[in-house]
Amino acid sequence: MHLSIILPAKNEAAAIGATVEKIHVQLEQMGLEASAEVLVVNDGSTDDTAAVAEAAGARVVHHPYSKGNGAAIKTGARAAQGEVLVFMDADGQHDPADIPRLLERLNQGHDMVVGARQKGSQASVGRGLANGLYNRLASWMTGHKVEDLTSGFRAVRADKFREFLYLLPNGFSYPTTSTMAFFRAGYSVAYVPIHAAKRIGKSHIRLLRDGTRFLLIIFKIGTLFSPMKIFAPVALLMFLLGTGWYGWTFFTLHRFTNMSALLYTGSVITFMMGLISEQITALMYKDGR
């Protein structure tokens, strides 16, 4: 099997049938109908998602209860038979006609190709601003321009993606984790501009709750990717605060205070923690092959 198209789905009966049918039409146009599979991971749906997907021609893998979008992605990656994996949303946002463009970039030597949503594709202004913030933070941490950190439409090489399954959370932030893990491992990541349509049905994402989780995950992955980019600025800030406070107390009280000592000590400890984290990170990404 050359290609596996994986759709995590929870209560998507209204959209999954049309989505799977469009994918099959696209595969037929590409001449890959015989060497590709459409795999739907039914994440504990309480509606007819599984039955509709099977009727449309998809292979369905079931979760006995809802484990989360990321867990469905991991299940799909383990069950897929293809050498290349394409992840799409099951709610009709992603256009199967963009699949050839992702595969074309992948065939140019990249290991992951992400469909980067253009202006007007965000579900709301707030979510668009949040994604812009995530992209800037991720670009700073990785040293590479990240055009769309949270896009769930992407094509990857199966063997490389499976290397990082243990890192992926079970929630909605698998795109964040996988993108930064690929950069950290030195794999090539490319972007293809896409337009995402309005989803069919109700979104399972909650902006405040999941937005906070995304930020926490970015910093967690940042410590796995480049810890010193987090620890060093904090250590420097504490050092500068200690120096400023010492200068103030020296000219006003003519003495060195405990607060300055505490800030200096904290800056050294934080910096050393960053160095240790760098060594742990290097060991985590050691190529055992």
Q: What is the pTM of this model?
A: 0.78
Domain boundary among 199, 224, 249: 224
Residue with tokens 């696209």: 26
CATH of the domain at 16: 3.90.550.10
Do both 175 and 263 map to the same domain? no
Task: Please give the mean pLDDT across all residues of the chain.
Answer: 86
Amino acid symbol at 38: V
Do both 64 and 190 map to the same domain? yes
Do both 248 and 204 map to the same domain? no
* Structural domains in the chain (count): 2
Contact 189, 112 (CB under 8 A): yes
Do both 116 and 129 map to the same domain? yes
Question: Is 265 part of a structural domain of the chain?
Answer: yes
User: Residue 229 belongs to what H/E stretch?
Assistant: helix 228-252
Domain boundary among 172, 189, 224: 224
Do both 85 and 135 map to the same domain? yes
Do both 104 and 181 map to the same domain? yes
| Residue range of the domain that includes 36 | 3-224
Amino acid symbol at 127: R
Do both 217 and 272 map to the same domain? no
Please state the φ and ψ torsions of residue 85, each to the nearest 5 degrees. -110, 135
Do both 238 and 168 map to the same domain? no
**153-187 pLDDT, tens digit each:** 999 999 999 998 988 888 767 888 888 889 888 89
Compute, in degrees rounded to 10, the torsion defined by CA atoms 96, 66, 73, 31. -30
Which residues neighbour 97 within 8 Å (Cβ) at sequence distance 6 or greater? 26
Do both 101 and 190 map to the same domain? yes
Question: Is 34 part of a structural domain of the chain?
Answer: yes
Distance CA 136, CA 153 (A): 20
Question: Is 125 part of a structural domain of the chain?
Answer: yes
Do both 256 and 154 map to the same domain? no
Q: What is the pLDDT of residue 170?
A: 85
Q: What is the pLDDT of residue 217?
A: 67
Question: Is 10 part of a structural domain of the chain?
Answer: yes
Question: Is 289 part of a structural domain of the chain?
Answer: no
Do both 219 and 246 map to the same domain? no
Q: What is the pLDDT of residue 200?
A: 62
Q: What is the pLDDT of residue 234?
A: 92
**236-285 pLDDT, tens digit each:** 999 999 999 999 998 888 888 899 999 999 999 999 998 888 888 777 66
Amino acid symbol at 95: D
Do both 155 and 276 map to the same domain? no
